[in-house]
Amino acid sequence: MFLFKRKDIYYVEYFDVESCCSRRMSTKSRNKADALKFISDLKRMMAAAPKPEYVTLNKFRYEYQGYIEKTRSPQYLRSVKLSFKKLVESLGDIPLASLKVRDFEKFFMSVYQQANYAAHLYHRTLKAAFNKAVE
């Protein structure tokens, strides 16, 4: 978090963890002391704000498998378990919010080079799972 001046007004630039990008905000003051007070108040508000709880890939995996266990066949459950196992091995246990399309494309391309049928199987099962996650 740092302070900078543009056309006689002080601004604050900080990194927003939720959106993973830097943000700029006006302090609405021309006085440096007031701008520094604004920064200290902003830090206090950010520290007091409740931290969002992210759903990780493994947490969603077990939740989805519990749902599938009751509604689908054992063979489909086996394919879902295998698909998630390979995905977690490839990407790690990361939050669902940080998953990008590019991550999936890399995963499917690496699997496709080894076995194209497996890539299609993983694509089908993971697509169904993440469509359910969106609901």
Q: What is the pLDDT of residue 64?
A: 93
What is the domain extent for residue 114?
Answer: 57-134
Q: What are phi and psi of 93, to 5 degrees?
A: -90, 85
- Residues 34, 62, single domain; the answer is no
Q: Tell me how many domains the chain contains.
A: 2
Give 15-39 pLDDT, tens digit per residue: 887 777 888 889 998 989 999 898 8
Q: Is residue 41 domain-shared with residue 88, that is, in the same domain?
A: no
Residues 66 and 41 in one domain: no
**DSSP structural state of residue 71:** H
Residue 122 predicted with pLDDT over 90: yes
Do residues 122 and 87 lie in contact, with contact meaning Cβ atoms separated by under 8 Å?
Answer: yes
Instruction: Note if the pTM is more than 0.85.
Output: no
Q: What is the dihedral of CA 100, 101, 107, 113, to 10 degrees?
A: -160
* Same domain, residue pair 95 and 113: yes
Same domain, 100 and 128: yes
Which of 133, 132, 129 lies closest to 83, judged by CA?
129
Residue 52 has what pLDDT? 72
DSSP designation for 49: S
pLDDT in tens, 78-100: 999 999 999 999 999 888 888 88
Q: How far is CA 128 from the centre of its chain?
A: 19
pLDDT-wise least confident of 93-97, 104-108, 115-119: 93-97
8 A C-beta contact, residue 1 and residue 7? no
Query: 34 Cβ partners below 8 Å, 6+ apart?
Result: 10, 27
